[in-house]
Chain A
Amino acid sequence: MLRVAVRKRLSTFELDVDFELPTPGVAALFGPSGCGKTSTINAIAGLLEPDTGRIELDGEVLLDRVRGVSLPSEQRRIGYVFQDVRLFPHLSVAGNLRYALKRAPPTHFVSLADVIALLELESLLERRTHHLSGGERQRVAIARALLSQPRLLLLDEPLASLDRERREEVLPYLESLRDRLAVPMVYVSHQFDEVLRLATHVVLMQAGRALAEGSIGTISLDRRLRTLIGPDAVGAVIDGSVIGNDPSGLTRVAVGRGELKLAAAPWAPGAPVRVQLLARDVILATRPAEQLSVRNQLAGTVSAIEPDDAYSDLVSIEVGGATILSRVTKAATRELGLVPGLSAWALIKSASLHGRSYQRAACLNA
């Protein structure tokens, strides 16, 4: 468990956050630029001294202003991947990695060979750092942080300085990091697609405050997310598991007590999969529909109807252990007579559903 409750008056705003994150796991601090995400992780790392507050990691107090405790950064054993990479320019790639390894505590949870294999750095080891591409530099920075054998890894928008293509090049490494190592991570981002791919837990931040926190499934239903990601990106995020492929080639995924069919994917039965059902892609019916091309029909109950904008409503439907969101026009709400408690069927095209394999680290299941 990482408990953070700090206040700090900064030049442009006041940081005042209070949240708890489960460890291990990947938590995302998500919010617009300049909302205090970086200041928050700087405080966790010990690079920013809060005016008041307390930070505790797995039972150890890192900071307690009341008791005058403030462990220096170099003793916190918290790895940090900076947005602007910051490789040591006078050392080779291998030199940068050794710098971290030399100062790590004697018990290692990850070896030099593991990290080199995980981030595919073998061919880069003897290179000077300024001859690396942006994506390669960030991989070296991640490897360096891991080799310090941190109890917690902080990543400050590690993909923000990369173009679209390079981001796609580095993201899979972060995913395999999450799946293969047990190190807890706090991932700062203002890109919701990154959060969707990496995080188990989300803290929504705005103007120096932590607005909401919870699992990504819970946060995906939070109204306040809409202003941060825009109406078109709103939609329930559901973690399910693969049942198998049906004869037509679609992949069947168990979500709650129901089942979704996704475009065919090469996942083994039982594999965890994360699906995002965009509210704009979910059609509502008040009776089972027939003779439709839609492959997914989930029976459920309307649990809430909230106005979304001047012309549409956002309808929540409970579908047996999961909640999904649907955006419908106000006219449709009226004509279908949608009210909480009404039975409804949610229709989703398989072609508009994209699952992501989501392999949890072994110890997360334990």
Chain B
Amino acid sequence: MNAAAWLRLSPSEQDALLLSLRVASRSVLASLPFALATGWLLARRRFAGRILLDALVQLPLVLPPVAVGYGLLVLFGARGPLGAWLDRVLHAHLAFTTNGAALATAAMTFPLFVRIIRVSMEQLDPGLADVARTLGAGALDRFLTLTLPLVIPGVLAGMVTAFSAALGEFGAVITFVGNIPGITRTLPLALYTMLQAPGGEHAAARLATLSILLGLAGLLLSEWLARRLWHMLGRGTPA
């Protein structure tokens, strides 16, 4: 058996891969505005409760993912307070759906996402805005020509990292939305399923290899973006 044939994915494995990409995209895009707002609040504002907000944002890092999934189930399950409200108002369901998988993923990757955006915003020198003012630049002008170009590489690096992490999210997803082929069975869930099935070793190894390649590509891309940011900010190359 040659390597190319060994790496060829079965239809169900292809489904898992595509579903993972879909879930990760939705997760990143849906959490982007919240990550931007939270990153900006933590980087630029001093307010009562800032430490509490910081702790809440980081909470998923230290909780068992299963606990996060369980929490989502309690809140967004059919009889949960938010789940019932969504059902009544929007006729939308999250438990045991693809969107639910994206929500669980977003909750787990949010700390990482916010951290990268926050760091890029903290590196912005507020003194540059004063320079722009004395040169005649108004508020919108300053945002478009100064803040945005300086922050975008950091935001992109955050998106790529969050996306890579989203592809691998397991515990919260399986707890909140189960392991339904084609709907919630993402790459790591498919891998887990293969490990449980007799004779699934080859498929499991294939999916694990694929996960490694995707993760590596994501991290390299994110690192490249981060280096671009560092270069732009004139701080040489990070160690």
Contacts and interface: CB of A to CB of B under 8 A. Distances in A.
Contacts of B232: 89-90
A80 B136 contact: no
Contact of A89 (B133, B134, B145, B234): B234
Interface in B99-133: 125, 127-128, 130-133
A78 interface: yes
A99 B141 CA distance: 11
Contact of A80 (B125, B128, B134, B141): B134
Nearest to B235: A130
Contacts of A144: 135
Q: Place the interface of chain B in its size category.
A: 20 to 34
B146 A88 contact: yes
B233 interface: yes
Given A86-B127, A89-B150, A99-B145, A148 B235 contact: no
Contacts of B138: 72, 74
Nearest to B136: A103
B200 interface: no
B80 interface: no
Given A73-B134, A104-B136, A82 B234 contact: no
A103 B132 CA distance: 10
A42 to B, nearest CB: 9
B234 A130 contact: yes
B149 interface: yes
Contact of A86 (B128, B136, B150): B128
Nearest to B127: A86
A297 interface: no
B84 interface: no
A89 B128 CA distance: 9
A79 interface: yes
B127 A103 contact: no
Nearest to A77: B136
Interface in A48-101: 72-80, 82, 84, 86, 88-90, 99-100
A77 B134 CA distance: 7
Contacts of A130: 234-236
B134 A148 contact: yes
Contacts, number: 69
Contacts of B132: 74, 88, 99
A11 B146 CA distance: 30
B136 A90 contact: no
A45 B149 CA distance: 26
A82 B129 CA distance: 12
A63 to B, nearest CB: 15
Contacts of B125: 86
B194 interface: no
Contacts of B135: 74, 79, 99-100, 103, 144-145, 148
A330 interface: no
Nearest to A79: B134
Contacts of B236: 130
A154 to B, nearest CB: 8
Contacts of A128: 234
A47 interface: yes
A148 B136 contact: yes
B122 to A, nearest CB: 15
B137 interface: yes
A145 B135 CA distance: 7
Nearest to B145: A99
B227 to A, nearest CB: 14
A158 interface: no
A130 B232 CA distance: 9
Interface string A207-242: 000000000000000000000000000000000000
Contacts of B130: 47, 73, 80, 82, 86
A192 to B, nearest CB: 27
B128 A47 contact: no
Of A90, A99, A100, A129, which is in contact with the most chain B CB atoms at under 10 Å from its CB? A90
Interface in B206-239: 232-236
A88 B128 CA distance: 7
A79 B134 CA distance: 6
Nearest to B148: A90
Contact of A46 (B133, B145, B150): B133
A89 B233 contact: yes
Contacts of B149: 90
6 contacts: A46-B133, A74-B135, A86-B127, A129-B234, A130-B236, A144-B135
Given A47-B133, A144-B135, 13 more contacts: A46-B133, A72-B138, A73-B134, A74-B132, A74-B135, A74-B137, A78-B134, A80-B134, A90-B149, A99-B137, A103-B141, A104-B136, A130-B234
Q: 7 shortest A-B CB distances, which residue pairs?
A: A130-B234, A103-B136, A73-B133, A80-B134, A89-B234, A148-B135, A100-B135
Interface of B: 125, 127-128, 130-138, 141, 145-146, 149-150, 232-236
Interface of A: 45-47, 72-80, 82, 84, 86, 88-90, 99-100, 103-104, 128-130, 144-145, 148
